[in-house]
Amino acid sequence: MRSILFSLVILISVFSCNSNSDKAQSIVVADTVSYSSQKITWKWEGDFSAEEQKKMKEWITFVSDCAQKVLGRFPFDLNYHFHRADGIDYAVGFGYTRRTSTYQSAHFDVNPIYPMEDFMNDWIAPHEISHLALPRLDQKDKWFFEGFATYLSRKVMIEMGTITEAEADSTARARIANIKYAYESNSNFVFVADSMILQYGYTELYWGGGSYFHKIDRKLKQENKISLVDVLKYFQMWRHQPDLELNEVIDAFDRISQSTVFSDLCRDYTTLPARGILIEY
């Protein structure tokens, strides 16, 4: 394993969620904190007390640190936005990312009256921060980047101590099995996944895409003796462009893993009938 990872370093060196709450009107920048070479900026929409701000910072700092321990250190500064949503009946109502070539941010609709335990047990922050481990991809690749965040967020939650590895695997298998019915089609998998958006089938889209990464992780461990997160950590060291095409990301993953696992499986998802893709679940 150690020799394989060493060779990956050499190889890299030659690569040139929904709430109904009302929105507050103003955004207040609270402060900026630098961790090593990475700067984190906190932004607040709505009226948060000093104690509530402290709780939100502690929560997201922990999730962000765990995410980067699992997925690799992101090569950019981070901006975390908190939108007060008193009308929701849970800690985190919704999350999304906003990204440009110079600005990387994750946004969270939160009800800060809920205890820290509720925030730590929620999947939305691990999901949204996991998105940042990939470059911005085209919307036509939604099956890929939402599947990525869906699967990898569970790896982050393992690092957080929220779930165990066995629980994450059994949950993934169960959720994929539950959406298998949606892919009983002779059209290719990606075509069917794209159609889920029009039908508001987000669970089917997210976990359908997640099956790709669940399969990849198992193949890498069985055939290459490395894991998906090993590949991602080295990918963060290599990436220096905010935007890449999906084929460029796949090619980088193959090169880092010294395999064709990513491209081979992606070819299956884009060319073979959907009904056969999830047959193992």
pLDDT at position 239 is 84
Note whether 120 and 147 are same-domain residues.
Answer: no
Domain that holds residue 94: 27-131
How confident is the model at residue 37, as a pLDDT?
76
244 burial via Cβ count (<10 Å: 0-12, 13-18, 19+): middle
The predicted pLDDT at position 29 comes to 40
Confidence grade of residue 242 (pLDDT, cut at 50, 70, 90): confident
Q: What is the pLDDT of residues 57-113, one digit of tens each?
A: 999 999 999 999 999 999 999 999 999 999 999 999 999 999 998 999 999 999 999
Do residue 149 and residue 10 come from a single domain?
Answer: yes
Give 21's pLDDT tier (boundaries 50, 70, 90).
very low
Same domain, 8 and 143: yes
Q: What band does 23 get if pLDDT is binned at 50, 70 and 90?
A: very low
Three-class secondary structure assignment of the chain: CHHHHHHHHHHHHCCCCCCCCCCCCCEEEEEEEEECCEEEEEEEECCCCHHHHHHHHHHHHHHHHHHHHHHCCCCCCEEEEEEECCCCCCCEEEEEEEECCCCEEEEEEECCCCCHHHHHCCCHHHHHHHHCCCCECCHHHHHHHHHHHHHHHHHHHHHHCCCCHHHHHHHHHHHHHHHHHHHCCCCEHHHHHHHHHHCCCHHHHHHHHHHHHHHHHHHHHHHHCCCHHHHHHHHHHHCCCCECCHHHHHHHHHHHHCCCHHHHHHHHHHHCEHHHHCCCC
Has residue 270 got a pLDDT over 90?
A: yes
- Residue with the bigger pLDDT between 165 and 199: it is 165
pLDDT of residue 136: 94
Q: 164 and 91 in one domain?
A: no
Q: What is the pLDDT of residue 36?
A: 57
Percent of the chain with pLDDT over 70: 87
pLDDT(4) > 80: no
Q: Which of 131, 154, 189 is the last residue of a domain?
A: 131
Find, among 247, 182, 238, 169, the residue nearest to 208 by Cα.
182
Could you tell me the pLDDT band of residue 22, with boundaries at 50, 70 and 90?
very low
Give the residue from 67, 68, 114, 125 showing the smallest Cα distance to 87.
114
Which of 112, 131, 150 terminates a domain? The answer is 131
**CB of 135 within 8 A of CB of 240?**
no
- Residue 172 and residue 87 share a domain: no
Give the pLDDT score at 257.
96
With bands split at pLDDT 50, 70 and 90, how would you rate the model's confidence at 44? very high
- 16 pLDDT above the threshold of 90: no
pLDDT at 11 over 90: no
Q: What's the whole-number mean pLDDT along residues 222-250?
A: 92
Residue that terminates a domain, selected from 131, 153, 174:
131
Residue 60 lies in a domain: yes
Average pLDDT, rounded, for the chain? 89
Token output for 67: 């995410």
- Burial category of 6 from C-beta neighbours within 10 Å (exposed 0-12, middle 13-18, buried 19 and up): exposed
* Total domain count, the chain: 2
pLDDT tens digits along 126-172:
999 999 999 999 999 999 999 999 999 999 999 999 999 999 999 99
Task: Tell me: pLDDT of 31 over 60.
Answer: no
**Are 122 and 251 contained in the same domain?**
no
What pLDDT digit, counting tens, does each position of 204-233 carry?
A: 999 999 999 999 999 999 998 999 999 999
